[in-house]
């Protein structure tokens, strides 16, 4: 396939879509499927058939729309009318929906299910990576191409040198979305310049943070965007082989990516001589098998090579010696999701969003005690208050906001007094938390902070790989201390000892997991020390969560 | 040729290990060209074929990939996905991700544990039910989440979860 | 590369080949950096973290066994911070399993014991976990006692890299890690074991020892590794010719 054929394909798909008077988009990502989206789609198809409308109305299974707690969600796109989104759709509403929209029968019962598209949940977002999510069928190539897909790859291959691509990424100010925020352009350039016959590109889709599912949604809802980003990266650094490491818990993402890779290979968008250029690039999927530590880059590479996912000391960095000792470019799936947009719209456009140090947008998985949970993509520099109260719609039951946990088990809690700080890598770091991969859990006054810290430490103890002593032994001991605090058997000097141990594990551990796992304790000791003290001194849990076994 | 092809198919059915389920492993071995890097994929295939990693299947994989036994065992025990023990007829996976935790998923685990006298991560004595606690299934919008025999149930309560487990265990297929 | 780099370790000028690690360079210069997982002749693992050092201009601590020397590097091996951390790490190791020296075959010769003494660990401030792990005395000559293991993986490395048998490996993860023989079977039944005994000799504690030894009797010698590897490297032996 060449560029003209790509355009022809886009045009053909658009013409095809024009044939229908109306399109019904049914969200088919994991949360909506589990609330019954499949049945809804079947019922809609039935209802359309019964009304003899199947030639005029098309139903499309799309990726994630965002407000997952309200699923199943459908969008009705009619010509010349504004889109209508319905929430909590059930299969017995199908007939009513068809009647209302295509037969002009008034069905007032449906109005309560309409989700206005001008609520802050939608209007406050800025979608770059998720632009097509919820709008296209992720199991097909053509809809992605129709929305301008793969033109960035074509453009890069024809108009740009690998060096220029790296420069463009550097200029855009894109930083790794995996959590640490390393400037992507710099990394690409390092791999490009590294000596080595074979080079590899690896996409990290091992999203182990509990409470984060941005990568899953992206891979499930718009797999071709990730593939395109990887192919551009392959061209820029001189790699011919890519791997996507998909977390084992996400079988649907793996299935859709595999399908996408086959479609792209068949059309010559991956494989040999891509778009009739001399560039070859293939992508293989590696499924994880349940190990959080494999999100760490050196452990991930061990796992790609089929070994125990234990991290290796750095340096040598993967950019110099990665997979099979060859230079390897390792980026998060979300980072790759940004690439196509940067190449098409330009670095300057991308850099116009965000803060001084951090550009673009970030996807957050908003969850916990908040009215609108779901997936949001917001410009960097937004404040926590806007996320929680505008997009999230506030806290249910009118309870008070207590803290927001970002960055999962590597991050920390942000208390209410910092709600107006613009969010970027640096500001979160100063607050003792991290951007992380983008999990954002809201906690209200009924959450007990030491208990939450204990939850994360339990997780880290479980997920520590056991290679280095500080993390292996330290997590066990930190967990023990927290257990004592939450059941009232801790003594006065537990807090200083815990603090000391946190600092040691943070500074002495081998890999990122060990170095960040004390963060949930460390940051909460900073802001919620009184709560820890109340547990120890007064045997009182301010949130009423902990039960004290031994009363002194 | 229609005459001979069923015969060769019949011949293929006899796996040298004496168990046709090994064919699932062979397929992946071939697709991965017997590369040692593909160990995790091969182990996944073995787990799919047998329901868990039998010792024989691990020995078989070790021979085919020419890897030491201890290497295979080390990898199989590193990843939580692999189980070396037979799994129950039905599975109940309770998500303990952060959002579910904040949504009190621990109470769900506790109530199922009590109802079936089984600890999370193990199987009931009669082999009917395996209770698993997992870390985030990525359905945080629906927290707390319980997965019964691959069917996801969102916004679950302790009582509701136990009732659904009973239904699944009693009726074969709850869905 | 014949070029030599010069650096300072604890204010002492040291020169070393640029491929050397800080740990090796320090050792050559007679400066002692504590370590438990590193052993001459085996690959460096960077797991025990006792060899942490501070490098001037870098806020991070580095494991000296996996840090290469650089021109002009200023290394400090005995700052207050690293000493405090080393002590805590040894305490964690002692608390992790079951290290009761008085009843151990290696009492008096144990590397963990002498490390604790050297660092001044006079008490352990953490809870003793003391998991009860079964001993394996099925091998004809050697005994494995995981209760004394510090998971340094010297035995795994020597079995793989020097003997080439790879009978030993690590299973599980986190605190559940354990050294296994074969398919986690009894050592005596693991056919890949060549009974060479190298693993016993490199083990720093009483986790691997010769059958029949009793308290304080086990002596280990580790310089055979250098003999083997040096011989292989220089091809000193020409039996086949």
Nearest to A225 by CA among A340, A314, A78, A114: A340
- Ranges A84-93, A159-168, A414-423, C154-163: which has the least confidence: A84-93
Q: For residue A53, what is the domain's CATH number?
A: 3.40.30.10
CA of C180: which chain B residue's CA is closest?
A: B70
- From the list B38, B78, B151, the residue facing A309 with the nearest CB is B78
Q: What number of CA atoms fall less than 13 Å from residue A194's CA on the CB side?
A: 27
Whole-angstrom Cα distance, residue A166 to residue A78?
41
DSSP string, A287-303: E--S-GGGGSHHHHHHH
Domain end, chosen from A351, A370, A388, is at A351
Q: Are C190 and C167 in contact (CB under 8 A)?
A: yes
Residue A475 with chain C: CB contacts under 8 Å: 174-175
Query: pLDDT grade, residue A497 (50/70/90)?
Result: very high
Of A287, A405, A465, the CB nearest to B44: A287
Q: How far is B81 from chain C (nearest CA, A)?
A: 12
Single pTM value for the model: 0.89
Highest mean pLDDT among A162-166, A178-182, A433-437: A162-166
Per-residue pLDDT tens over the stretch A251-289:
889 999 999 999 999 999 999 999 989 999 999 999 988
Say if residue A550's pLDDT is above 60: no
Mean pLDDT of A380-394: 91
pLDDT classification of B174: cutoffs 50, 70, 90: very low
**All domains of chain C in start order, with CATH:** 5-78 (3.10.20.740), 85-225 (3.30.70.20)
Provide the 3-class DSSP secondary structure of residue A465: coil
User: How large is the C-alpha radius of gyration of chain C?
Assistant: 19
Are A262 and A209 contained in the same domain?
A: yes
What CATH number does the domain containing A516 carry? 1.20.1440.230
Do residue C172 and residue B69 have CB atoms under 8 angstroms apart?
no
Is A140 within the bounds of a domain?
A: no
A242 with A388, same domain: the answer is no
Q: For all residues of chain B together, what is the average pLDDT?
A: 84
- A200-205 and A328-332: which strand pairing? parallel
Segment C147-161, tens digit of pLDDT: 999 999 999 999 999
> Any CB–CB contact under 8 A between A198 and chain B?
no
Q: What's the confidence (pLDDT) of residue C12?
A: 93
A367 CB within 8 Å of a chain B CB: yes
pLDDT at position C2 is 57
How far C211 CA lies from chain B's nearest CA (Å)? Answer: 23
pLDDT tens per residue across span C84-141: 999 999 999 999 999 999 999 999 999 999 999 999 999 999 999 999 899 999 999 9
On whether residue A189 sits in a domain, the answer given is yes
User: Do A435 and A299 reside in the same domain of the chain?
Assistant: no
Domain boundary, last residue among A421, A444, A467: A444
Burial of A539 (0-12, 13-18, 19+ CB in 10 A): middle
* A497, A429 Cβ separation under 8 angstroms: no
According to DSSP, the β-strands at A374-379 and A361-368 are antiparallel
The count of residues in chain C is 241
The angle that helices B39-50 and B69-78 make with each other, rounded to 10 degrees, is 70
Note down the domain range covering A437.
361-444
Using the predicted structure, report yes or no on whether residue A549 has a pLDDT greater than 70.
no
- C-alpha dist (Å) from residue C182 to A311, B55, B73, C93, C152: 23, 12, 8, 26, 18
Domain count, chain A: 4
Q: Are residues A371 and A393 in the same domain?
A: yes
Residue A142: inside a domain, yes or no? no
The answer on A240 and A160 residing in a single domain is yes
- The verdict on A163 and A310 lying in the same domain is yes
Cα(A243)–Cα(A230) distance, integer angstroms: 9
Q: Could you tell me the two tokens for A424?
A: 């970027």
Categorize the per-residue pLDDT at B74 as very low, low, confident or very high, splitting at 50, 70 and 90.
very high
- Cβ partners under 8 Å of residue C67, min gap 6: C21, C22, C23, C53, C55
List the subunits that have 3+ CB pairs under 8 angstroms with B: A, C
Judged against a pLDDT cut of 90, whether residue B7 lies above it is answered with: no
How sure is the predictor about B1, in pLDDT bands with cuts at 50, 70 and 90?
very low
> How many alpha carbons fall within 13 Å on the CB side of residue B100?
33
Q: Are residues A389 and A329 in the same domain?
A: no
Q: Is residue A136 part of a domain?
A: no
Q: Which two tokens stand for residue A102?
A: 């295509």
DSSP A387: I
Minimum-distance CB partner of A289 among B74, B82, B103: B82
Q: C100 — contact with chain B (CB < 8 Å)?
A: no
A26 and A162 together in one domain: no
Domain closes at, from A417, A444, A471 = A444
Residue range B35-49: mean pLDDT, rounded: 91
C-alpha closest to that of C202 among C18, C36, C19: C36
Whether residues C192 and B69 touch (CB distance < 8 A) is answered with yes
A259 and A202 fall within a common domain:
yes
Instruction: Find the CB nearest C166 among B55, B71, B78.
Output: B71
Closest by CA position to B151, among listed A213, A42, A36, A214: A36
State whether C48 and A313 contact (CB < 8 Å). Answer: no
Interface subset of C 87-116, CB within 8 angstroms of A: 88-89, 92-93, 95-96
Residue A112 shares a structural domain with residue A183: no
Across the interface, whether the CB atoms of C192 and B68 are under 8 A apart is answered yes
Q: Is residue A195 located within the same domain as residue A292?
A: yes
| A342 and A384 together in one domain | no
């Amino acid at each position: 396939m060449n560029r003209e054929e790509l355009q022809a394909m886009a045009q053909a798909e658009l013409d095809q879509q024009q044939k229908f008077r109306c399109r019904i988009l049914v969200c088919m990502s994991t949360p909506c499927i589990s609330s019954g989206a499949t049945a809804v789609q079947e019922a809609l198809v039935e209802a359309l058939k019964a009304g003899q409308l199947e030639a005029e109305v098309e139903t499309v299974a799309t990726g994630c729309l965002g407000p997952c707690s309200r699923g199943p969600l459908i969008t009705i796109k009619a010509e010349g009318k504004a889109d209508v989104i319905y929430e909590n759709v059930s299969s017995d509403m199908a007939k009513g929906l068809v009647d209302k929209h295509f037969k002009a029968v008034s069905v007032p019962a449906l109005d309560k299910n309409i989700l206005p598209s001008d609520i802050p949940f939608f209007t406050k977002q800025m979608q770059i990576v998720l632009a097509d999510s919820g709008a296209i069928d992720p199991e097909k190539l053509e809809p992605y191409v129709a929305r301008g897909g793969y033109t960035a790859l074509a453009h890069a291959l024809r108009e740009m040198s690998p060096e220029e691509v790296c420069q463009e990424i550097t200029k855009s100010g894109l930083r790794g979305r995996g959590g640490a925020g390393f400037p992507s352009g710099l990394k690409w350039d390092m791999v490009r310049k590294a000596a080595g016959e074979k080079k590899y590109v690896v996409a990290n889709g091992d999203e182990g943070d509990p409470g984060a599912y941005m990568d899953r949604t992206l891979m499930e809802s718009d797999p071709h965007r990730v593939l395109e980003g990887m192919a551009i990266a392959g061209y820029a650094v001189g790699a011919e082989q890519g791997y996507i490491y998909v977390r084992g818990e996400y079988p649907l993402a793996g299935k859709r990516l595999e399908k996408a890779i086959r479609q792209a290979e068949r059309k010559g968008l991956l494989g040999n001589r891509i778009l009739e250029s001399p560039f070859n690039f293939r992508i293989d999927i590696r499924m994880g098998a349940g190990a959080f530590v494999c999100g760490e880059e050196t452990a991930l590479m061990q796992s790609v090579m089929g070994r125990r996912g234990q991290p290796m000391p750095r340096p040598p960095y993967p950019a110099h010696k990665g997979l099979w000792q060859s230079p390897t470019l390792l980026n998060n799936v979300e980072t790759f999701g940004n690439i196509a947009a940067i190449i098409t719209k330009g670095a300057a456009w991308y850099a116009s969003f965000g803060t001084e140090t951090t550009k673009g947008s970030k996807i957050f998985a908003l969850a916990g005690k908040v009215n609108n949970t779901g997936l949001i993509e917001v410009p960097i520099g937004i404040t926590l208050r806007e996320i929680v109260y505008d997009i999230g719609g506030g806290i249910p039951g009118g309870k008070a906001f207590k803290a927001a946990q970002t960055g999962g088990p590597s991050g920390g809690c942000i208390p209410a007094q910092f709600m107006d700080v613009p969010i970027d890598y640096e500001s979160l770091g100063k607050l003792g938390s991290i951007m992380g991969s983008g999990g954002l859990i809201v906690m209200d006054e009924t959450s007990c902070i030491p208990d939450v810290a204990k939850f994360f430490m339990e997780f880290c103890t479980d997920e520590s790989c056991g290679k280095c002593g500080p993390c292996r032994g330290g997590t066990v001991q930190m967990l023990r201390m927290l257990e004592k605090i939450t059941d009232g058997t801790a003594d006065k000097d537990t807090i200083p000892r815990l603090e000391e141990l946190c600092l040691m594990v943070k500074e002495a551990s081998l890999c990122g997991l060990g170095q960040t796992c004390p963060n949930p304790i460390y940051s909460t000791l900073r802001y919620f020390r009184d709560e820890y003290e109340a547990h120890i001194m007064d045997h009182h849990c301010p949130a009423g969560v902990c039960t004290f076994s031994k009363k002194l | 040729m229609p005459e001979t092809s069923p015969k060769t198919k019949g011949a293929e059915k006899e796996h040298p290990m004496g168990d046709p389920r090994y064919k699932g492993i062979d397929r992946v071995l071939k697709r991965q060209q017997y590369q040692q890097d593909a160990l995790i994929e091969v182990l996944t295939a073995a787990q799919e074929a047998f329901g868990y990693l039998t010792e024989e299947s691990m020995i078989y994989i070790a021979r085919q990939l020419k890897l030491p036994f201890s290497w295979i065992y080390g990898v199989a025990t590193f990843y939580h996905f692999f189980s070396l023990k037979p799994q129950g007829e039905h599975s109940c996976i309770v998500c303990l991700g952060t959002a579910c935790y904040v949504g009190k998923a621990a109470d769900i685990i506790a109530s199922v544990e009590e109802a079936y006298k089984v600890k999370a991560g193990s199987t009931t004595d009669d082999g009917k039910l395996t209770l698993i606690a997992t870390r985030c299934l990525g359905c945080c919008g629906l927290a707390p989440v319980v997965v019964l025999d691959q069917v996801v149930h969102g916004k679950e309560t302790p009582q509701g979860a136990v009732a659904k487990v009973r239904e699944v265990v009693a009726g074969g297929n709850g869905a | 590369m014949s070029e030599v780099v010069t650096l300072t370790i604890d204010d002492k000028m040291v020169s070393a080949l640029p491929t050397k690690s800080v740990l090796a360079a320090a050792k050559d210069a007679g400066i002692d950096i504590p370590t438990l997982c590193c052993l001459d002749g085996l690959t460096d693992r960077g797991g025990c973290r006792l060899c942490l050092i501070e490098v001037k201009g870098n806020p991070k601590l580095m494991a000296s066994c996996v840090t290469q020397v650089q021109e002009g590097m200023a290394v400090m091996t005995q700052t207050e911070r690293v000493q405090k951390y080393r002590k805590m790490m040894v305490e964690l190791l002692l608390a992790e399993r079951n290290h009761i020296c008085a009843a151990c075959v290696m009492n008096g010769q144990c590397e963990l014991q002498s490390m604790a003494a050297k660092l001044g660990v006079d008490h352990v401030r953490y809870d003793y976990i003391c998991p009860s792990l079964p001993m394996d005395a099925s091998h004809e000559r050697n005994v494995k006692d995981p209760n004394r293991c510090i998971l340094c993986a010297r035995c795994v490395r020597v079995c793989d890299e020097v003997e080439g048998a790879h009978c030993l490996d690590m299973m599980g993860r986190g605190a559940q890690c354990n050294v296994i023989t074969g398919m986690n079977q009894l050592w005596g039944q693991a056919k890949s074991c060549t009974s060479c005994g190298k693993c016993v000799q490199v083990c720093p504690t009483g986790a691997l020892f010769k059958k029949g030894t009793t308290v304080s009797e086990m002596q280990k010698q580790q310089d055979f590794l250098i003999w083997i590897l040096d011989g292989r490297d220089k091809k000193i032996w020409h039996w086949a010719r």
